[in-house]
Structure 1
């Protein structure tokens, strides 16, 4: 039943997110090559998890979703895609495959791939700024996204991921790496939904605790899949982390230990949602349904 809730929500919103991205990236630049490179990576597929989380928070708190809400929520996918383009570069993870297709630098060359990422990052802020949301919400969202993506968020995690490869991190340091690299944008997705829905201040810490536990579970799950799946199944090269001596949960805890850590993170997320339901007196089953991602 819980899985059906998520499936029904995705069936409504994922096509709308994809259609919005397609339509609004057609005339994004007067440089055809740049437009093509940006569109290639953004429209290559993906779960659209981050904008879906923002929209789910708004839906759960009965915020009517307007065109402004959609634009602001989808802006996060631009930031996420920029990070993937740069993460795949030869100087970073040197990946040739993403979502089952050649990565941006393989398709367009390193120079254009870097510039496509460079263009997507400010475009995400542009979409927030011109979304039509109330100015106080735009200011809050802009600050929160800059913090999530910047030197104390995603980029900090990327630095640790690259520079600490080959050095076995202790569990607290590994958790911090993942809170920054993967968790920061997921944390922001929940923040963005809460800002736009006007979620009461007393409820927000529990929603964010859910988002942080979900983000941790997401990274642990990804680490596990890198060990247990094939490239055909994931749409990207697998078994790279061990070969590059990356810090992952299976490398630190073993596969069984990583699965235990995943179960613990899911339980933490479930507990946080339960507390948020009590505080808000709302059914937050839609948000809880996102946890079925780790059981499918």
Structure 2
């Protein structure tokens, strides 16, 4: 079974339980709309890859951890797209939940996906009670306060914020949860895997900042949102060329941080593949050419 097939099956399982005859049909439809079809599914990919690298012995628990993290990510996107934040029309190439189903149902959809995530983890964790508590804490830390994705979103409501803190919370937190949860699902120490999640998560946010400026978005959502909403941005702080250099350093850090294991090379290739998908070399070359032309005009 391929990695992506495994992930899609793991995500479908919670809906088979939740979608009963007593559930509100439009709510269930909105929840499915938010989750399927998905994006790159990099967070569950990381979770499963780390579990395998750690000698996975409880695939049902790994699947539940991976699915719960992706459900939480999807919930955050539903809320992030709403009028009170980005007021986005599209996400992943399709209409956003609040545009398709209305704002009240979008709010409830995000809430329901959060609950479904924890139900999924608790259901599988009941068969592995000695691992459940630490797994739950890891996922909670990646989601809530003081440094989870909710805190990351909340920093946008503050008058001032340190860029690194904002990025680590808004994007990096769930990446750290993904790598650490993968190790915990396999019954091993998560700490050696924390740096990988931290570096890759920050790289994702930096790439998103760059694409937001370039208008080269690949996720099916609007661009130019950071400037419009006055959000912190690496591209605004460092300039596009500086942001690209920083992105490359983060990717290199992520590659080097993969702990020694039988699948170390394969995991490093996964990071490099994601790097090219996030910010293709052609885009980096285009930024360098534009910067050089700008420098020549300034001198002239």
Q: State the TM-score bracket (shorter-chain normalisation).
A: 0.7 to 0.9
Partner of 1:178: 167
Matches within 5 A, 1:112-191: 112-131=105-124, 132-152=126-146, 153-164=148-159, 173-191=162-180
Partner of 2:211: 225
Choose from 196, 204, 215 the match for 1:210: 196
Partner of 1:242: 227
Partner of 1:14: 4
- Mapped to 1, the partners of 2:108 and 2:92 lie a distance apart of 20
Give the gaps of 5 or more residues in structure 2: 278-300
Matches within 5 A, 1:1-296: 12-26=2-16, 28-29=18-19, 30-64=23-57, 66-131=59-124, 132-152=126-146, 153-164=148-159, 173-199=162-188, 201=189, 204-230=190-216, 233-273=218-258, 276-277=259-260, 282-292=262-272, 293-296=274-277
RMSD: 1.9
Give the deviation of 1:64 after TM superposition.
4.0
- The answer (yes or no) to whether the contact 1:26–1:35 under 8 Å persists in 2 is no
Q: Secondary structure at the match of 1:44?
A: coil
Taking structure 2 as the reference length, what is the TM-score of the superposition?
0.84
Give the gaps of 5 or more residues in structure 1: 1-10
Deviation string 1:111-161 (CA, Å, 9 cap, x unpaired) is: 000001111111111111111541021111111111210021111111112
Deviation string 1:11-34 (CA, Å, 9 cap, x unpaired) is: 811122223323541452411111
Q: Secondary structure at the match of 1:91?
A: coil
Taking structure 1 as the reference length, what is the TM-score of the superposition?
0.85
- The answer (yes or no) to whether the contact 2:180–2:191 under 8 Å persists in 1 is no
Q: Secondary structure at the match of 1:47?
A: coil
Deviation string 1:179-198 (CA, Å, 9 cap, x unpaired) is: 10111111000111110123
- The answer (yes or no) to whether the contact 1:209–1:272 under 8 Å persists in 2 is yes
- The answer (yes or no) to whether the contact 1:85–1:113 under 8 Å persists in 2 is yes
Misfit runs of 4+, over 6 Å: none
Q: Secondary structure at the match of 1:25?
A: helix
- The answer (yes or no) to whether the contact 2:143–2:173 under 8 Å persists in 1 is yes
- Mapped to 2, the partners of 1:189 and 1:267 lie a distance apart of 19
- The answer (yes or no) to whether the contact 1:174–1:248 under 8 Å persists in 2 is yes
- The answer (yes or no) to whether the contact 1:27–1:35 under 8 Å persists in 2 is no
- In the superposition, relative to structure 1, how do residues 151 and 194 fare at CA in structure 2: closer, same or farther (>3 Å)? same
- Mapped to 2, the partners of 1:62 and 1:220 lie a distance apart of 32
* Larger Rg belongs to: 2
- Mapped to 2, the partners of 1:158 and 1:24 lie a distance apart of 26
